[in-house]
Structure 1
Amino acid sequence: MTTQIVILAAGMGSRLGRSLPKPLTELADGRTIMRQQFDNIEHAFGGNASVTIVVGYKLEHIIEAFPQASFVYNEEYDQTNTSKSLMRALAASQPGGVLWMNGDVVFDPSILDRAMPFIARDQSFVTVNTAKVSDEEVKYTTTAEGYINELSKTVKGGLGEAVGINYVSSRDKGMLLAHLSRVGDQDYFERGIELAIEKHGMLVEPMDVSDLYAVEIDFAEDLERANHFV
């Protein structure tokens, strides 16, 4: 089955202070953030990947840059957060699991190599970094069995940070979609995952990539750090 991949790129990205959508920010090697993501996807999946981009803010620039993708429009991009962008993408997806990523993550291509066994066995996962735990980032805890328990920015005693690259299995997708539709407009998609775990016992594994790079670009210093890797 073709792997379905979603890139969330509807937001305005105002904190970085650029005029174009943040995923079109140029890196030191001349590629944009999203082009680096597409290159990583091609590295892992070759041509056997179906990429859908959730667009909103200045969507025409992203559509022009990546005409080979499919697009889902979040018309409330300026009033909603990633929960509602992911909700729209999952609702538009074909049967089967979905791998998704935030459109502002510059990451090591080996991360997708590491994800392949999870995807092959159709196991929901959240990519995590245990090397640091910052207050402003999405953090997580696990159950005694090693599955994700809590997942939010307000987690106390977090074991690490969520990286922003995740997979929902074919069996879990409908459950996650239902919870994404119920969370608040300003919630991140992690809230939908957390509720699906809490209310329905969804089993989500943490996939540790602490030895690899993954930088979410919110501020100029993040971009500077990412440029050391590419």
Structure 2
Amino acid sequence: MTTQIVILAAGMGSRLGRSLPKPLTELSDGRTIMQQQFDNIHQAFGRDVKVTIVVGYKLEHIIEAFPHADFVYNEAYDQTNTSKSLLRALQATKDSAVLWMNGDVVFDPEALVRAGDLVARDQSFVTVNTSKVSDEEVKYTIDETGHINELSKTVRGGLGEAVGINFVSSRDKAALVRQLQRVDAQDYFERGIELAIEHDGVRFQPVDVSDLYAVEIDFAEDLERANLFV
């Protein structure tokens, strides 16, 4: 089975207030957010793994920084959300299973190592943090079988937060593509996952990485917190 890695990096990231795309923000160890992600990917899956970056805002800077990656262009990056960026990436990667991550997450490399068994088994999953449940973050609930049931920012009674690292198996990919085509342009990709669960019976397993660090960089204080770990 072939697995491809996708990094969603098309957005403008205006809340952080930087001139470059947010994934190119420098961390305290001298690496950028995206370089830290690449290092983690290579540690878990080797240097030959195929990485596709979805670009949009100031794409030339990301292409220059990572010339050996493949690229998918979301030309409507300023009018669409992550659902449409992920849709373009899944369509570009054909029938392969896809592990994808948001391009603004600084995370412990062990998170991908831990998920490796599920990737090898071709089991769709969502990585989660059960140690906190913030109103503004994507939250989740599970069904009676222990699989993801609800996944959105509006979930009530959430069991934890989605970390921003996810995997869709080769057998579930077509259903997710179909549902991402249905959702609104401003929807997050989590809405497509919810619809695939509801209408196609797709099962996403939660992978708990609460004991590891994973920081989504939206604001300056998030960057300060991430820099405590790298």
TM-score tier, shorter chain, comes to over 0.9
1:65 aligns with 2:86: no
1:186 aligns with 2:171: no
1:160 aligns with 2:167: no
Alignment of 1:72-151 (within 5 A): 72-151=72-151
RMSD of aligned Cα (Å): 0.6
For 1:73 and 1:202, locate their aligned partners in 2 and report how far apart those are by CA, in whole Å: 28
SS of residue paired to 2:190: helix
Write out per-residue CA displacement over residues 3-46 of structure 1, whole angstroms, 9 at most, x where no aligned residue: 30000000000000000000000000000000000000111111
8 Å CA contact retained: 2:12, 2:21:
yes
8 Å CA contact retained: 2:111, 2:209:
yes
Task: Give % identity.
Answer: 79
Write out per-residue CA displacement over residues 112-161 of structure 1, whole angstroms, 9 at most, x where no aligned residue: 10010000100000000000000000000000110000000000000000
For 1:69 and 1:175, locate their aligned partners in 2 and report how far apart those are by CA, in whole Å: 26
TM-score, scaled to structure 1: 0.99
Give the CA deviation at 1:2.
Answer: 3.9
8 Å CA contact retained: 1:196, 1:202:
yes
For 1:100 and 1:216, locate their aligned partners in 2 and report how far apart those are by CA, in whole Å: 14
For 1:49 and 1:218, locate their aligned partners in 2 and report how far apart those are by CA, in whole Å: 28
SS of residue paired to 2:136: coil
For 2:153 and 2:78, locate their aligned partners in 1 and report how far apart those are by CA, in whole Å: 21
Give the CA deviation at 1:94.
Answer: 3.2
One-letter identity of the residue aligned with 1:222:
D
2:7 aligns with: 7
One-letter identity of the residue aligned with 1:216:
E
Give the CA deviation at 1:200.
Answer: 1.3
8 Å CA contact retained: 2:95, 2:173:
no
Write out per-residue CA displacement over residues 197-221 of structure 1, whole angstroms, 9 at most, x where no aligned residue: 0111111100000000000000000
Give the CA deviation at 1:96.
Answer: 2.1
Structure 1 stretches of at least 4 aligned residues deviating more than 4 Å after TM superposition? none
SS of residue paired to 1:63: helix
Gaps of 5+ in 2: none
TM-score, scaled to structure 2: 0.99
For 1:198 and 1:3, locate their aligned partners in 2 and report how far apart those are by CA, in whole Å: 25
1:218 aligns with 2:222: no
1:37 aligns with 2:37: yes
SS of residue paired to 1:99: strand
For 2:94 and 2:36, locate their aligned partners in 1 and report how far apart those are by CA, in whole Å: 25
One-letter identity of the residue aligned with 2:76:
E
Gaps of 5+ in 1: none
One-letter identity of the residue aligned with 1:208:
D
SS of residue paired to 2:134: coil
One-letter identity of the residue aligned with 1:71:
F
